[in-house]
Structure 1
Amino acid sequence: MSARKQKQPGFRVSFAPSGQRVTSIPGETLLDCARRAGVRITSVCGGRGLCKTCVIRVTEGPVNPPSTADEEYFSKRELEDNWRRSCQTFLAGDCTVAVSARAQAEPTRTEVESEDIYVHPDPVVHAIRGTVPVGTLTKPAGDDKRLKSTLNQKWPGAGHTIDIDVQKSMSGILRETNGRVAAVSRFGEIIGLLPQKKGPLLGLAIDVGTTNIGTWLVDLRNGRTLKTMGFENPQGPHGADVITRLGYARKSPEALETMQKLVIDSLNEAATALTRARGLKPELITDVVIAGNTAMHHLLIGLPVNYLSVVPFIPAVSGAVDIKARDLGLHVMPGAYVHMLPNIAGFVGGDHTAVLLAIDSAQEQHTVIVLDIGTNTEISLIHQGKLASVSCPSGPAFEGGHIRCGMRSAPGAIESVKIRGNDVELQTIDNQPPIGICGSGVLDMVAELHKAGIITVTGKMNAEHPRVRRPEGKRDLEFVLVDEVEGAGEAIVFTQSDVRSVQLAKGCISAAIQILLEDAAITEEHLHQVIIAGAFGSYIDIGSSITIGMLPDLPLERYAQIGNAAGIGSKLALVSHSHRSEAEAIANSSNYIELAGAKRFNKLFMQSMCFPKIVNNQAKEV
């Protein structure tokens, strides 16, 4: 049930610890107030009251009575101490609000790898240098004709068309440089005109993830990465998962435009920061390649998403898209293009295409599973040179969403857990005091609970364990990692509902893998390797993933965690025209299996929600 709205006049609210203040607008929640004030409060569900992340404490002033949802979520003691979720709270007077450490934590691990790629540079853009003769009374040909004539002598056929922005600026540039220019050519179109010694031709590779965005500034002459930058996807306040964001974008054309602008503005800031760090300007970026899942792809270029978010999840465009950067509002070379890597189908997007592009082509002769685990998990099977792909909505549990004390990776997030009898050993990010539990810690937590016998194969929690309790007025049992004293008034717990959330996520991934294997008439023993891509995949404990039955029970040496492979694939497509063509071939050749239409999936999913039996401290399938 939603919170009860108050039709109050505007009230003043002060947020601690930032001290920022704002006057409320009638009908808006505390979460809305915080967003207007620029106060960071994480909300995985986009403020719909469906998650457990936007926790605050009202320290002074009146608010509405607890919503039904908050009465179910918080214990009686927590409600008496005025703990609330900000999306369920409305002001009834001037207030002071303390934002929980977990809700305001700034995420870490948005960094991206900077290793160079080893490929013969063959970009789609080239610089053609030459000297354009001055127009005279006896030879009064237009600047465009003299430019084309000069370029055709250097590179026959290269100067057939000239971008409109180049036409607007070329007269001044030709005279300022005495005709000594470098024309930037792309498939016979002059997209830029520079002084000959202006600087290197730059390219920008981008991986637009649902959670984070990675950017790589590349020298197109040699493929060398000059600078990298990673940051949060600014669409996050509108939901952590793609379905929530698509739902917001469907509200109105203005909402779709808002989602697009959020990312474009952040990319412009990144382009400026990356080039400035090298003493250069964004106008030298001559080519841009972007990889993203199908939802991010559509939101970025403003495509309609009405049919993408409902069965049968049909994208408006699945093939590669080339669009002028200026048409998107990207502040790079005005005539430059943005190349959107092709989607495969459904929610298996260009980011997964980029991952597959980055994998050594020698893998084509092996049997390999490739996963990118996240809110939406993409999985591919390479077998006998053929490719099959699925997408499964594993949900935000592995990023701390829908977990009672879950959070993104940030200082103080519990990232590793070990249970030793009645004691718990915790490892937090940056060794800071614990404030919540992030995705890798969630996996460890469930694996340790299972190995210690605190949860059964069906996931039921043992109420007799000394660390398990049932808060007053609550149905859910919870395992206490950090009590109220250690947690500065707020305990860090892992609840029975949290276990169920992980079961849903891991069951979905496990069932999807089984669908791929069954369709290929093989078993997990046939797998030469399981490749785990993505930022989250870099930090998970493979042993824990096997223990809970999420990943195949194979020797650890058959696993490879390769980090941000989508970024590597994007750079390959940026630097090499042949790799760009290969990405198109990958997307076209993949056999996409829609799990929503696979009759076997529901049965496998239900079976996969159980945990394997533990025999001699090893997980064995039930």
Structure 2
Amino acid sequence: MKNIRVIFEPEKIQVEVPSGSKIISAIEKSGIYFELPCGEKGICGKCGVKVIEGAPPPNETEKKLLGEKVKDGWRLACQSRINRDSTIFLENRAASYHKILTSKTLHGILRKPQIKKKLINVEKITLENPVSLQEHIARHLGVGIEKVSPFILKDVVDYNGAAETVVFHNGDPLAVEKGDTTSHCYGIGFDLGTTTMVLTVFDLIECKELISVVRPNPQIKFGDDIISRIDFSLRDDGLEVLHRIIVDEINRMIDEAAKVSGIENHHIYQFVLSGNTVMEQIFLNLPLNSLSKIPFNPLMKGPVEISAFRAGIHINPEGIIFVFPVLGGFVGGDTAGLILTTGIHKSEGIQLGIDIGTNGEIVIGNKNGIIAASTAAGPAFEGGRITFGMRAQTGALERCWCEEGEIHWQTIGGNSLKGFCGSGLVDLIAVLRRSGIIDEAGRFQENSDSVFSHMLKNKNNGFVFVLEPEKNNSVYLTQKDIREFQAAKAAIRSGIEILIKKAGVDPKDIEKIYLAGALGNFVNIENIKNLGMLPGFPTERIIPSGNTSLASSLLFLCNSELRKDIAEIIKKTRVIELSLYPEFQEVFTDSLFF
């Protein structure tokens, strides 16, 4: 089979692929980042590219999802096969500004890091007492020889009695370095999300954040939710592909952070990772088979500690990789992080924690015990499966409101409107519900008396709400988009209702409600209450809590005492499966309404 040449604009990157290859194969070979939200299933229509030269005939899937755009050369990268030299335009995503939550501010934390450094001066080894360097260092440190691995002495093998720096992890020697490096001591906190990954370099001496790097999770091209990732992992070499792609991206993030901040990778000694069960097991290259079938039990419990060398992570090879524990089922380390950060496990009164994301997690309890559950909210809150949905990046509608009979909105970066991120979607649907454009069942009302009725248009035998009707290619909201949002918010609400009932508490007795995750931090709280995602909690009790997954990893870096808290959280938390409760389907159905 002959090769054909493919040129990608505007980067002008050129690759060769066999004739008949899918466009996505050429994109992957080019190294250009590109998302496949539905994992090449051909159901979302979001991998559209414009074939400027060499466009193949569109298939039925492309005609259905792209409509009239196929006449202008638009094709789906996951569907279209190219058979001759082609030029393809890809939107330049790299230049977009992402509004991603890093972590909550760490106030009043105990400074007791697990990694410490000590400068030592040891006399030379002499002919009169020709002991091994391992024994010599151990004796000077006052520890048993077994505590000093010979592998950490490779950099000081020519030891001549000069000053050396010993790196300790919880009191045990971790590394020995030439000269005085006591002022260079760093760790990394990492939030491994299904959709987004956030890395923060942490100064372990001052216990403060230095720099953060944010990336979309590159596994998105295999599907935008954890079920898609599990399915892909069951294919031949699927798990290895998922594992390798995530480790490679993490290393690129580390290298970028080190370069920008002027830090040497070998001066990073601890890497603490938090994520849901599926993401953590993929990171550790652990099979997901048991999560694909009843009773959905994870392989790991944790926490897990391994060397950076074994994990393949670009920090000091002797550095420690710490992965937060899985609490049970799909309730992973990020939920343990939510409990740790908010202190629910030490609270006298009943508290509720909700992590709003693709895989939503909910916990309720206090120092006497905690109940936790996961709920498959899906990616709608992060722009997934919404016609013009997008993550929080340049051009995304992030705020929307009604004023003097007109709809107003704010986009990230102040640029022209490209689509909706989660907070903007919530606001828009709230405006449409208040104005009567949609009813309590979420249906568009054709004969509404709303001042916005002129923005309701008929498209492809269905109604859509067009935000800028004066523009031919305006962004719009479909009936299907509203249904996706209803399903996502109902998943969260039904989880809350069942956990409250299972805990045997009255909602009015819940003293604090923590909203974690990007949507939980940026969303208009009154709007999510009015749309029925939350019960009628007093607004003053609802606390936006930031990225608790990342915050927990930073807290752990700074405070060795939190190992005890993590053990306590594991012991106190009981995970339940929501689908086992007969009332779940009824509560879910009721929660679909606005």
State the one-letter code of the partner of 1:145.
E
State the shift of 1:300 in Å.
0.9
1:162 aligns with 2:152: no
For 1:548 and 1:218, how far apart are their aligned partners in 2?
39
Contact 2:7 2:15 in 1 (8 A): yes
- Cα 1:32–1:470 shift into 2, 3 Å: farther
For 2:537 and 2:521, how far apart are their aligned partners in 1?
18
Instruction: Describe how 1:166-245 pairs up with structure 2 within 5 A.
Output: 166-172=152-158, 174-175=159-160, 178-187=161-170, 189-198=172-181, 199-245=183-229
Instruction: Describe how 1:426-575 pairs up with structure 2 within 5 A.
Output: 426-464=409-447, 465-471=453-459, 474-483=460-469, 486=471, 490-575=473-558
SS in 1 for 2:119: strand
For 2:514 and 2:338, how far apart are their aligned partners in 1?
10
Name 2:450's counterpart in structure 1. Answer: none
Name 1:53's counterpart in structure 2. Answer: 46
Could you tell me which of 366, 372, 384 is aligned with 1:389? Answer: 372
Contact 1:390 1:512 in 2 (8 A): yes
Contact 2:21 2:83 in 1 (8 A): no
Query: Which one is further off, 356-365 or 557-566?
Result: 356-365
1:151 aligns with 2:141: yes
For 1:362 and 1:343, how far apart are their aligned partners in 2?
16
State the one-letter code of the partner of 2:279.
M
SS in 2 for 1:561: strand
What does the per-residue CA deviation read over 1:575-603, in whole Å, with 9 as the maximum and x for residues that have no partner? 22211221222123111111232222112
- Cα 1:311–1:423 shift into 2, 3 Å: farther
For 1:58 and 1:138, how far apart are their aligned partners in 2?
78
For 2:402 and 2:59, how far apart are their aligned partners in 1?
35
State the shift of 1:541 in Å.
1.3
For 1:216 and 1:104, how far apart are their aligned partners in 2?
20
State the one-letter code of the partner of 1:394.
A
Name 2:356's counterpart in structure 1. Answer: 373
SS in 2 for 1:607: helix
What does the per-residue CA deviation read over 1:130-181, in whole Å, with 9 as the maximum and x for residues that have no partner? 32232222211111111111010xxxx3654223421433422x23xx2422
Name 1:133's counterpart in structure 2. Answer: 123
Could you tell me which of 402, 407, 415 is aligned with 2:390? Answer: 407
1:344 aligns with 2:313: no
Structure 1: runs of 5 or more not aligned: 1-7, 612-622
1:89 aligns with 2:89: no
Contact 2:223 2:229 in 1 (8 A): yes
For 1:143 and 1:39, how far apart are their aligned partners in 2?
49
Name 1:616's counterpart in structure 2. Answer: none
Contact 2:500 2:506 in 1 (8 A): yes
Name 2:581's counterpart in structure 1. Answer: 598
State the shift of 1:393 in Å.
0.8
SS in 2 for 1:22: strand
Could you tell me which of 86, 91, 114 is aligned with 1:124? Answer: 114
Query: Which one is further off, 530-539 or 504-513?
Result: 530-539
For 1:369 and 1:191, how far apart are their aligned partners in 2?
39
Contact 1:159 1:188 in 2 (8 A): no
For 2:295 and 2:95, how far apart are their aligned partners in 1?
37
State the shift of 1:423 in Å.
4.3
For 1:97 and 1:567, how far apart are their aligned partners in 2?
38
State the shift of 1:113 in Å.
4.1
State the shift of 1:231 in Å.
2.6
For 2:204 and 2:37, how far apart are their aligned partners in 1?
38
For 2:261 and 2:327, how far apart are their aligned partners in 1?
36
- Cα 1:105–1:440 shift into 2, 3 Å: farther
State the shift of 1:277 in Å.
4.2
For 2:149 and 2:155, how far apart are their aligned partners in 1?
10
State the one-letter code of the partner of 2:135.
K
State the shift of 1:11 in Å.
4.0
Contact 1:318 1:343 in 2 (8 A): yes
For 1:223 and 1:52, how far apart are their aligned partners in 2?
45
State the one-letter code of the partner of 1:133.
E
Contact 2:274 2:334 in 1 (8 A): yes
State the shift of 1:436 in Å.
1.4
State the one-letter code of the partner of 1:552.
P
State the shift of 1:240 in Å.
2.2
- Cα 1:313–1:126 shift into 2, 3 Å: same
SS in 1 for 2:399: strand
- Cα 1:566–1:507 shift into 2, 3 Å: same
State the shift of 1:412 in Å.
0.9
SS in 2 for 1:230: strand
Could you tell me which of 51, 57, 62 is aligned with 1:70? Answer: 62
Name 1:580's counterpart in structure 2. Answer: 563
For 2:64 and 2:172, how far apart are their aligned partners in 1?
62
Name 1:618's counterpart in structure 2. Answer: none
For 2:134 and 2:560, how far apart are their aligned partners in 1?
28
- Cα 1:373–1:321 shift into 2, 3 Å: same
Contact 2:45 2:66 in 1 (8 A): no
Could you tell me which of 36, 45, 49 is aligned with 1:43? Answer: 36
Contact 2:188 2:201 in 1 (8 A): yes
State the one-letter code of the partner of 1:57.
K
State the one-letter code of the partner of 2:64.
E
For 1:25 and 1:214, how far apart are their aligned partners in 2?
36
1:609 aligns with 2:592: yes
Instruction: Describe how 1:253-264 pairs up with structure 2 within 5 A.
Output: 253=237, 255-264=238-247
Name 1:615's counterpart in structure 2. Answer: none
State the shift of 1:400 in Å.
1.0
State the shift of 1:338 in Å.
0.9
- Cα 1:158–1:559 shift into 2, 3 Å: farther
For 1:307 and 1:107, how far apart are their aligned partners in 2?
38
1:30 aligns with 2:23: yes
State the shift of 1:509 in Å.
0.6
State the one-letter code of the partner of 2:124.
V
For 2:153 and 2:31, how far apart are their aligned partners in 1?
42
Structure 2: runs of 5 or more not aligned: 448-452
- Cα 1:112–1:368 shift into 2, 3 Å: same
Could you tell me which of 82, 88, 106 is aligned with 2:96? Answer: 106
Contact 1:367 1:528 in 2 (8 A): yes
Query: Which one is further off, 295-304 or 578-587?
Result: 578-587
State the shift of 1:605 in Å.
0.8
Instruction: Describe how 1:221-300 pairs up with structure 2 within 5 A.
Output: 221-253=205-237, 255-300=238-283
For 2:81 and 2:387, how far apart are their aligned partners in 1?
22
State the one-letter code of the partner of 1:123.
P
Name 1:620's counterpart in structure 2. Answer: none
State the shift of 1:459 in Å.
1.4
State the shift of 1:188 in Å.
5.9
- Cα 1:491–1:351 shift into 2, 3 Å: same
- Cα 1:457–1:9 shift into 2, 3 Å: farther
SS in 2 for 1:322: strand
What does the per-residue CA deviation read over 1:310-337, in whole Å, with 9 as the maximum and x for residues that have no partner? 3322111012011011001112222221
Q: TM-score, normalised by structure 2?
A: 0.92
SS in 2 for 1:352: helix
For 1:453 and 1:427, how far apart are their aligned partners in 2?
22
